[in-house]
Structure 1
């Protein structure tokens, strides 16, 4: 830019002072950009230069005025790119978005990242610990650290954020104790029959998919009518969380239950399961998850179980526990839709798992659930 043009631009552009942070700022197209601290740049000279860099489409040379909101937006933009490229799934993206919301509530959107201290992260961890158990707490701490590390790696901030010694994930010992405190996290055969007996057509089919195919909450919520081949009794359905393809042989009982759901389907959606108010189960509840978790509580109550302690996802744990009795862990993982470790060379070379192995896996669970009834 010529010197005369630069001088004219500087005269025409006015910066404001953001009182809460003490930073020079400029609002442009609905977005507020932050620059230097007023006490360090009293005339706004360096801040104005930074604004002209942004206006010209370049990243400002000095980034001391980056706020928590700015850092989060840049991080989420990177996650959106990965989502659109198919590198992460929508569930993972939604978790990252939730992490940003947690940061905003504790640290404040307009707080300058350069001013964050270990005490701020100690407070953030305390806030999270009041709301989440050890496993979820550890997950959110990892996501938050990823956000601020990205800010440094991407050149948004000049030095790494210091999290302090207390902003760490709960220890393995704490997690083990928490799991032991929660108690039993699967269902025995009699309990599964109790659940089925207390269920209408929708929940009967969903429970059977959970216990014979390892379906989780989002799996049943997002299952589409067209994916179920009732003639062959097979279901080809990638797991929503990992995108791993799954090919699952269905029990006759499961096929019949799904047929009953299809026959009474109200239409208006491609989703197989629709609630009594005409909404599918993908609709978000107030905590940001799908509606399966809350809607399953009345089923537990009707079956005589406490509403707290176990949920629909425990059916997935039940399948894993019982299916392993077949001795073919590879087939169990294939039905569960688990992603393989990068160091697992066998998984890299394995191209498929035969239908007969998949069939033996689900038959093992069928025998556990129904053999006692057949013999009685």
Structure 2
């Protein structure tokens, strides 16, 4: 039978009861009030008896803890499922971070819930270190170490917030070690490689690559360009970057202007320049570009299926979910290519930073005021990849 007693070294009533193995023990009820201590004690004893009878399920254990909390605090114990908590956490993040970062957080949260399976609909404190490690290890089989570690840091942030909200007693993701991130340095494409890529492109991808080369902007920002972003009269592109939220006003060099005027214009200013790309996920576009590179031999460890133009994922028997090896080349390398081409053409560092939108050397940029004429002169030093004879408007 469970009883409550005072002990010499505690201000709280203690519950004396039998453990499932028959040993007598005592635990603090956490209250000085005898009237509250007794029902708490009885709940402890009840849980122990259920365990002795092998009937203490995870659900019953959580119900018992919730009952004890309610008795001690006169309010329900804070609780939320993983799915419900992450939904609220994402809502807060959308107010705090850029659109690009919010999209990445959504992707990471979705992958975590996929890994958890049915446990995604259980209380967030039901997630164990083993669950966290399983998520990390599954992810490490598909993506690079750097991507795994970035995802872990995002999830750690969510669990830290839940810990501060009183929903957890520990951050299980903080107990995990990061994975070894083998460094694959990105490099710039050579101009010959850019010409090979353009020659292999279909009409829309040709435009994406040309805009990538002549603006140095990220794939997601280029794919989402609409006609209201492009002012042919002033020869400028205006956009807000998804990753940093920075407003960019970019002069269009002559080759890009000649290409832009061949695109079928729309009466709707919100119409996308690249309709197919605008409706695709960035991951899909990145995969398509990797397949494009593979088709002309610019990626390592991948093989294009004959007659399909798509990359074979099972060349070494690892299946579709295995990590792809790209040899360090991706659409992002066009940013490196543009930066290198500008500097090789003698454009100074401050102008290059302004055109590409790099956020480093922020103090230097604060004291540097770059005229529009200098920006236009800079982009017109880029080499011409769009011969006038090759871009005659179709009748």
Question: Structure 1 residues 131, 209: CA separation in 2 closer, same or farther (over 3 Å shift)?
Answer: same
Match in the other structure for 1:323: 342
**Conservation of the 8 A alpha-carbon contact between 1:228 and 1:236:** yes
**Conservation of the 8 A alpha-carbon contact between 2:159 and 2:173:** no
1:22 to 33, 42, 59: 59
Match in the other structure for 2:91: 77
1:312 aligned onto 2:328? no
Task: State the number of aligned residues.
Answer: 302
Question: Structure 1 residues 292, 42: CA separation in 2 closer, same or farther (over 3 Å shift)?
Answer: closer
Match in the other structure for 1:99: 108
Match in the other structure for 1:270: 271
Question: Structure 1 residues 101, 246: CA separation in 2 closer, same or farther (over 3 Å shift)?
Answer: same
Match in the other structure for 1:157: 167
Any stretches of 5+ residues in structure 1 without a counterpart?
A: 1-18, 24-35, 51-59, 275-279, 371-376
Match in the other structure for 1:224: 226
Specify the SS of the correspondent of 1:146. helix
Greater radius of gyration (CA) = 2
Deviations 1:184-241 (A, max 9, x none): 6432111212222334543333222111211221122111113222233222222232
**Conservation of the 8 A alpha-carbon contact between 1:242 and 1:337:** no
Between the aligned partners of 2:381 and 2:237, the Cα distance in structure 1 is 18
- When normalised by structure 2's length, the TM-score is 0.65
Shift of 1:364: 4.3
Between the aligned partners of 2:267 and 2:295, the Cα distance in structure 1 is 25
Shift of 1:295: 4.2
Match in the other structure for 1:187: 189
Between the aligned partners of 2:288 and 2:82, the Cα distance in structure 1 is 36
Shift of 1:43: 9.2
1:212 aligned onto 2:231? no
1:239 aligned onto 2:246? no
**Conservation of the 8 A alpha-carbon contact between 1:221 and 1:282:** yes
Question: Structure 1 residues 305, 158: CA separation in 2 closer, same or farther (over 3 Å shift)?
Answer: closer
- When normalised by structure 1's length, the TM-score is 0.68
Question: Structure 1 residues 324, 156: CA separation in 2 closer, same or farther (over 3 Å shift)?
Answer: farther
Superposition RMSD in Å = 3.4
Question: Structure 1 residues 246, 48: CA separation in 2 closer, same or farther (over 3 Å shift)?
Answer: same
Match in the other structure for 1:359: 376
Question: Structure 1 residues 299, 105: CA separation in 2 closer, same or farther (over 3 Å shift)?
Answer: closer
Match in the other structure for 1:136: 147
Question: Structure 1 residues 119, 297: CA separation in 2 closer, same or farther (over 3 Å shift)?
Answer: closer
